[in-house]
Amino acid sequence: MPKNNPHDMIDVMKGLLKFDEKDRLTAQQVLHSGWISRWILRWDEEKAHRRVSEIRMREGRLNL
């Protein structure tokens, strides 16, 4: 899985939509499994951490 890039996630979703009829249940199971929700939450969390780091760097108090 590519590292939390929303465009990669869109490609994954398009891939799920391309499944034929017998595989569609599998796609729905993936959608309902919460895997995508966890992926989105993790991406948002990393984005928030980057934002905090940017603010601290601007204020000159980033502890490296």
Q: pLDDT tens digits, the chain, 64 residues: what are they?
A: 445 666 666 676 666 666 555 556 566 666 666 766 777 777 777 888 888 888 888 877 655 5
- 50 within some domain: yes
pTM of the complete model beyond 0.75? no
Q: Is residue 1 in some structural domain?
A: no
Count CB-CB contacts under 10 A for residue 13.
Answer: 14
Best CA proximity match to 10, nearest among 43, 33, 32, 55: 43
Q: For the chain, how many structural domains are there in total?
A: 1
Residue 23: inside a domain: yes
Q: Is residue 52 part of a domain?
A: yes
Is the distance from CB of 38 to CB of 3 less than 8 angstroms?
no
Distance of alpha carbon 48 from alpha carbon 42, whole angstroms: 10
Is residue 40 situated within a structural domain?
yes
> Within a domain: residue 63?
no
Residue 11 in any domain: the answer is yes
Structural domain boundaries, residue 54: 6-58
The verdict on residue 48 lying in a domain is yes
